[in-house]
Amino acid sequence: METQEAVAESTPMETDGQSDSKRDGQQKFTLGPNDSLEGKLTYGGHMTVNGGHAEGEFRIGGNIEIGNGSVVKALLEASNVTIKGEVEGKLTARDKLTLGKQAKMNGDVQVRRLQIEDGASLNGYVRMGDFEQQAPGS
Amino acid sequence: MIGQLYIEGDLRVGGVVEGEVEVTGDVEIDDMAKVKASLAGRDVNIRGHVNGAVVARKRLIVGRSGSLFGDVRVERLVIQDGATFSGQVSMGPGASKAAPPKPVEAPAPAPPALQPELEAKVVVPAEKPAPPIVAAPAPPAPVAELRVASKDGKGRPGAAPIKSQPDKKPIKSQPDKNKKKRR
């Protein structure tokens, strides 16, 4: 249940409205510019890092979006992963990984679909195709 | 075609290529093409099937119909949604220069006089009456490709392995330098 605490701790007051907003029935959790998260997070909803700093291991049931200016050093696992900031670590996207123009990704990647926009930077091994699905939190 | 191919200029592949391809200009791999070769070029655009290492001095684009299996050294990389890609990616300025995957050795410098004939665009046409099934096994190589192979692969055995720029003076010019020094 540490994971629950992690969510509670790093959900800042000012983004309260956002953090529990429902989107396609799933919860969304947002890290703002002044927020940081360290540790292991297992979460069923969507996660957004918007300018914040995150470190650890995140297993997300929904999608992860890492916005411009965010720095994430973590083992990431989610359905759809969209990166516009900087990411270091192993990444698994059960569906699709999108690297935006400003994205910097350092680490091995396992995805089902991959889209890289011009200007993005990627260093690591890319594996594509179907793989054993490990649904987080189940 | 099967074998080594070195081209000064651009290359467009529409058929089957196996071996090693090095191009000073841009490389384009068409939808129906099947390439089982290491590729090196400036801009590399893949819309067909490629199995092999790729070096793009400028940019590598894997189109939505493209598939690429192999390690990649590029300065810039674009992968469109729908493309298939597996391999190690090394990216950034200088990544493509750090270790060009050229197993070609024997730096026999060829006289620059030989090179103009190759500066024309070499287009390997896909002249196959193949059904539009993309997943079909490799069709028999058209005659045109074989001709290209003999012309470019074997026709320039001395020139093929050059990796240095033509402006680097071959051995020929060294005696001149020596003479100048002596004087």
Q: Coil, helix or strand for B154?
A: helix
Q: Is B182 inside any structural domain?
A: no
Looking at the predicted structure, is the pLDDT value of residue B135 above 70? no
What confidence tens digit (pLDDT) does each residue in B86-104 have? 999 998 777 666 554 444 4
pLDDT at residue A85, rounded to an integer: 95
pLDDT at residue A52, rounded to an integer: 87
* CA angle at B171 for the pair B167 and B177, rounded to the nearest 5°: 85
What residue numbers bound the domain in which B121 lies?
Answer: 2-173
Q: Is B24 inside any structural domain?
A: yes
Which one has a higher pLDDT value, A56 or A129? A56
Tell if the CB–CB gap between B91 and A123 is shorter than 8 Å: yes
Instruction: Estimate to the nearest angstrom the gap between the alpha carbon of A18 and the chain centroid.
Output: 16
Per-residue confidence at A132, pLDDT binned at 50, 70, 90? Answer: low
Which one has a higher pLDDT value, A26 or A115? A115
Nearest CA distance, A130 vs chain B (angstrom): 12
A107 in contact with chain B, both atoms CB, cutoff 8 A: no
Burial A20-50 (b: 16+ CB within 10 A, else e): eeeeeeebbbbbbeebebebebbbebbbbbb
Q: Is B106 inside any structural domain?
A: yes
What is the rounded CA–CA span in Å between residue A94 and residue A25?
Answer: 19
**Residue tagged 């990389």 (tokens):** B77
Q: Where are the alpha helices (H) located in B74-142, listed in sequence order?
A: 95-98
Q: Is B62 inside any structural domain?
A: yes
Contacts of B81 in chain A (CB under 8 A): 96, 113-115
Q: Which of B77, B86, B90 faces A127 most closely, judged by CB atoms? A: B86
What confidence tens digit (pLDDT) does each residue in B18-42 have? 999 999 999 999 999 999 999 999 9
Report the candidate in B149, B182, B178 with the shortest Cα–Cα distance to residue B13: B149
Q: Is the pTM of this model over 0.80?
A: no
The number of distinct structural domains making up chain B is 1
Nearest CA distance, B88 vs chain A (angstrom): 4
Cβ distance A111 to A128 under 8 Å?
A: yes
pLDDT at residue B18, rounded to an integer: 94
Report the candidate in B83, B81, B74 with the shortest Cα–Cα distance to residue B27: B74
**Residue tagged 């598939």 (tokens):** B67
Which one has a higher pLDDT value, A61 or B104? A61
pLDDT at residue A43, rounded to an integer: 93
* CA angle at A117 for the pair A62 and B12, rounded to the nearest 5°: 130
Q: Is B87 inside any structural domain?
A: yes
What is the rounded CA–CA span in Å between residue A94 and residue B104?
Answer: 40
What is the rounded CA–CA span in Å between residue B14 and residue B11?
Answer: 10
Q: Largest Cα–Cα distance in chain B?
A: 70
Q: Is B159 inside any structural domain?
A: yes
